[in-house]
Amino acid sequence: MLNANKADDLSLVNRLKKGDASAFEEILLKHEDRIYNVCRYMLGNEDDADDAAQDTFIKAYRNLSDFRPDSSLYTWLYRIAVNTCLDYKKRPFFAAIFKATREDDEVVRELPSNEPSPERLYESKQTGHALRAGLKQLSEKFRAILILKEIEELSYEEIADVLDISIGTVKSRISRARKELKQQMKKIMEQK
Amino acid sequence: MRCKKAKVLISPYIDGELSEGERESFESHMKDCGNCRAEFEETRNVHNLFTGAERFGANYGFTTRVLANLETKTRRKELLVPLFTRFVGVVAVLMIIGIGIVSGRFIGRSFSFQKPGNIATFFPLDTFNATPPDSVGGVYLAMTEAGNEK
C-alpha cells in the first residue's frame, strides 16, 4: 500500500528540489498524521509529540539533499522522527520539565465491537493503560521497533531501513521486545 | 524443525515474514510441540494487544504551524552567522581591554616598588631645568640678566 505512493513521493521531492515550495506542503499533508502518531507513541504526550513532529519536517526540509531516491520518503521521515524523539528523551532536565505537560494522556485501545459492555470497556481500558505503561518501561530501541511494527505496521525490510539495521537484527529485536513487553505488562497487571 | 529454530520464527510467523516453506515447517512443528505452542500463543497475545490501538492524527493547523516555524527557524539559523561574528568581535574588544588592564597594573606595580620617600632620589630635582635656554622662559631670563635689560 505504501509502496504505491513511492513514485508520487519522489515526484514531490523532485519538485521541492527544483524550488516548488507547494510540494513541501503536499508532503506535509500526506505524511503529517503518521509522523505525529509515531512521535505520540514514542514520547507519550501531545505537546512533545507535536513539537517533535514539527522538528521532523523542518529537519527533512533542510536536509533534503540527504534523501536517497532509492529510499522511500516515508521511511526516511520515520527515521528522522525516531531520531528526533530519541533526542527529545535526552533533553536537559529543566527543558524536559518545562515542556512536558500532560504525560501519557489517553493512549487507549478502541474496541472492535461497536457496543461494548461496561465490563469489556473497563477491561479494555485497563489493558490499554497496561500497554501504555508497559511500552513506557521498554528501552528506546524496543519501544521504537514495536511502534513501527505494531502501530505503523511496517514490514521488516522497511523497519530495517528506518532504523538502519539488518533484517536479522529486526527479527531478533522484535522477538525480544515482545518478550520484554509481556514481562512488563505482567508486572503492571500484578501491581493492580 | 527444532525448538530453537521454531522459537526464533515465532515473531516472523506472526508478522507474515516467513517464506512458504518456512511457514509449513513452523506450523508442522507447532502441532507437535506443546512448549513452543505455548510460547507462540503468549507472543501472539502480546501482538493482539495492539489490535485496534488508537491512531493519533496531527492536531488542527499542524501544516500551517510547520510552514510558519520553518520560516522563523530558517531565519534564525541565517542570523546565527552574523551573531557569531558579532560575538567574536565583542570577545576581541574585551580581550584587548583586559590585556590593557593587566599590563597597566603590571607597569603600575613595577613603579610601586619605589618607596614614596625615594621618589626624589629616583627623579632628582638637579636634573630638572625649569627654563631651558631655548624656551621662552630661558630667553626671558637671558634678556633680564644684568647688562641685557635693553
Decide: A170 and A160 in contact? Cβ < 8 Å.
yes
H or E stretch including B77?
Answer: helix B62-112
Of B43, B47, B66, the CB nearest to A57: B66
pLDDT (tens digit per residue) in A30-60 = 999 999 999 999 998 888 999 999 999 999 9
Interface contact flag, A107 B62, Cβ < 8 Å: no
Of A32, A106, A149, the CB nearest to B62: A32
For residue A84, give every residue at least 6 positions away whose Cβ sits within 8 Å of its Cβ, in sequence order, or none. Answer: A39, A52, A55, A56, A59
Decide: A184 and A134 in contact? Cβ < 8 Å.
yes
Of A41, A49, A171, the CB nearest to B12: A171
For residue A16, give every residue at least 6 positions away whose Cβ sits within 8 Å of its Cβ, in sequence order, or none. Answer: A23, A24, A27, A61, A64
Interface contact flag, A175 B55, Cβ < 8 Å: no
The sign of the CA dihedral B51, B54, A51, B66 is: positive
pLDDT (tens digit per residue) in B94-134 = 999 999 888 888 777 776 655 555 666 666 677 777 777 78
B-chain residues near A150 (CB < 8 A): 47, 50, 53
Decide: A159 and A145 in contact? Cβ < 8 Å.
yes
Decide: B58 and A32 in contact? Cβ < 8 Å.
yes
According to the model, what pLDDT value does residue B10 have?
94
